[in-house]
Amino acid sequence: TAREAHLTIDPAFRVAPVRRRTFGTFVEHLGRCVYTGIYEPGHPSADEDGFRRDVLDLTRELGVSTVRYPGGNFVSGYRWEDGVGPRERRPRRLDLAWHSTETNEVGVDEFVAWCRKAGVEPMMAVNLGTRGIAEAVDLLEYCNHPSGTALSDRRIANGAKQPHDIRMWCLGNEMDGFWQTGHKTAREYGRLAAETARAMRMVDPDLELVACGSSGSSMPTFGAWEAEVLEHTYDVVDLVSCHAYYEEKDGDLGSFLACSTDMEYFIRSVVATADHVGARLKSRKRIDISFDEWNIWYLSRHQAAEPPRDWPVAPPLLEDHYHLADAVALGGLIITLVRNSDRVTAASLAQLVNVIAPIMTEPGGRAWRQTTFHPFAQASRYASGEVLRVEPVSPSYETAEYGEVPLLHAVATRADDGGVTVFAVNRSTDGPLSLEIDARALGGVRVTGATTLTDADVYARNTADQPDRVAPRANPHVEQDPLRVLLPPVSWNVIHLG
Ligand code: AHR
């Protein structure tokens, strides 16, 4: 028999509006994300600009809002000028971050053109690793200034008459990380980020600027880093970043399925630090979070691998093939991001295609949806209007990493037309949960639809040959009075009420 869980939905439990930017992703010059990912001129589906139409279609279906670019670790050694102008004159460079050769066939103009086709908003990162204020301001002038200066006219000469009008800018990437080219202390980075932000705001005062927070909640400088960086940057930035990756370690599926517990702790800690700095500075402004790298990543496996020795072009790096349990863990992370929409106002799933990504491609061949595609696409599609806090009453289980954790993890959103969608994960590995929903405050609603993403084999994957092995299916176990839905073990669920 199924164990019982309950949740109550009340429109009064409003958290914040659903932030469209929660459904952002990330395209880095890394492995096959750009080359043979979004761009492959010889591919049968390539359009007149060399962009793969199959990947564009899947990007639209995924419901992506923003795309962060061009890195990641890559940006910390990047010279943006290499990637503009006639292709035959663009230099090939060593990319120190990924020990690859960068051909620069794709640069900022191509990326923005791709964004327009995909219907997504570009989010740009500047290099504060090997470069500084001048180069960041140059890139901003190139991208956003209408015309009449050397750099804006150069953009026009390169074919982009209209300014790119990029609103969100990341001030470097993971500058707390020892692996970063140009790694800095919090003081060094905080000063540089503040001065870069001030200069960029002189060009365009309305930019939304993101300061680098910690690369993970287990970083040795976590907390102290945010505090010092924000001391320097508080008045000139809008957001601070968080990055987090999770993986199943040593076969501990129970802890892995509860990894959103760490994300929740991470968000609360950063909010507390930011608000503490704000109070100390007597600021009336609030700094929000851009969770601009998050995903499942089997990092320990990749770290064990040798870096490529021969500086290859677009080698297959970080190509994780996700299974059902990965998708359910990822669904739990989405629930946590949405639950915290009052302070997490932007997020980027890292990354979009091939590199730890929901979309996979074969060079010259097929493209398909990984298991992790589905929770993201469904949440992006159905989360709208307002986020409602739901307080689940659920049996719990003991995990090695996080102690006692509820089996049910959930959030709800209420659309402008009053329709409510519940997103729910059952973390149990050994049985279904019978979820009873108390929606009396909504007045006489019914379950109008329910889907579940699950599989008898928690390690089932999608492949080019079997692309739909794991996909959301209609959930047949629905009762109307009282409202009740059966959530299979290790499952991601979407329930519509109306
Ligand atoms: O997304 C892969 C890498 O993870 C990024 O380049 C870096 O910012 C992070 O460490």
| Domain of residue 488, CATH code | 2.60.40.1180
Nearest CA to ligand 1 atom 4: 72
Q: In residues, how long is the chain?
A: 498
Same domain for 361 and 439? no
Ligand 1 centre to CA of 68 (Å) is 12
Rg value, the chain, Cα: 22
Same domain for 369 and 486? no
Confidence at residue 136, expressed as pLDDT on a 0 to 100 scale: 98
pLDDT band at 300 (very low <50, low <70, confident <90, very high): confident
Beta pairing class for 433-438 and 3-8: parallel
pLDDT band at 391 (very low <50, low <70, confident <90, very high): confident
Confidence at residue 498, expressed as pLDDT on a 0 to 100 scale: 95
Ligand 1 pocket, CB under 6 A: 28, 71-73, 173-174, 215, 293, 350-351
Whether residue 64 is predicted with pLDDT greater than 80 in this model: the reply is yes
Sign of CA dihedral 86, 87, 90, 95: positive
Same domain for 238 and 344? yes
Same domain for 395 and 353? no
Same domain for 367 and 457? no
Which of 382, 406, 427 is the last residue before a domain boundary?
A: 382
Q: Which atom of ligand 1 is the closest one to the Cα of 318?
A: 2
Which phi and psi angles does 71 have, rounded to 5°? -175, 170
Structural domain boundaries, residue 348: 19-382
Same domain for 415 and 354? no
Same domain for 165 and 26? yes
Domain count, the chain: 2
Percent of the chain with pLDDT over 90: 97
Q: How many helices (H) and strands (E) does the chain have?
A: 11, 25
Which of 344, 365, 382 is the last residue before a domain boundary?
A: 382
pLDDT band at 468 (very low <50, low <70, confident <90, very high): very high
Confidence at residue 346, expressed as pLDDT on a 0 to 100 scale: 98
Question: Catalytic positions, please?
Answer: 174, 293
Q: Which atom of ligand 1 is the closest one to the Cα of 97?
A: 6
Beta carbons of 131 and 175 less than 8 angstroms apart: no
Nearest CA to ligand 1 atom 2: 72
Ligand 1 centre to CA of 183 (Å) is 14
Same domain for 280 and 194? yes
Whether residue 303 is predicted with pLDDT greater than 90 in this model: the reply is no
**Residue among 98, 174, 215 to mutate when testing ligand 1 (max atoms within 8 A of CB):** 174
Beta carbons of 26 and 72 less than 8 angstroms apart: yes
Which phi and psi angles does 271 have, rounded to 5°? -60, -45
Span 72-128, pLDDT tens digits:
999 999 999 999 999 999 999 999 999 999 999 999 999 999 999 999 999 999 999
Same domain for 410 and 357? no
Span 190-235, pLDDT tens digits:
999 999 999 999 999 999 999 999 999 999 999 999 999 999 999 9
Same domain for 282 and 329? yes
Which of 382, 410, 433 is the last residue before a domain boundary?
A: 382
Same domain for 336 and 297? yes
Span 149-158, pLDDT tens digits:
999 999 999 9
Same domain for 401 and 282? no
Which of 421, 426, 410, 414 is CA-nearest to residue 458? 426
Report the CATH number at residue 327.
3.20.20.80
ipTM confidence: 0.99
Strand boundaries in 383-419, DSSP class E:
386-388, 396-399, 403-406, 408-414
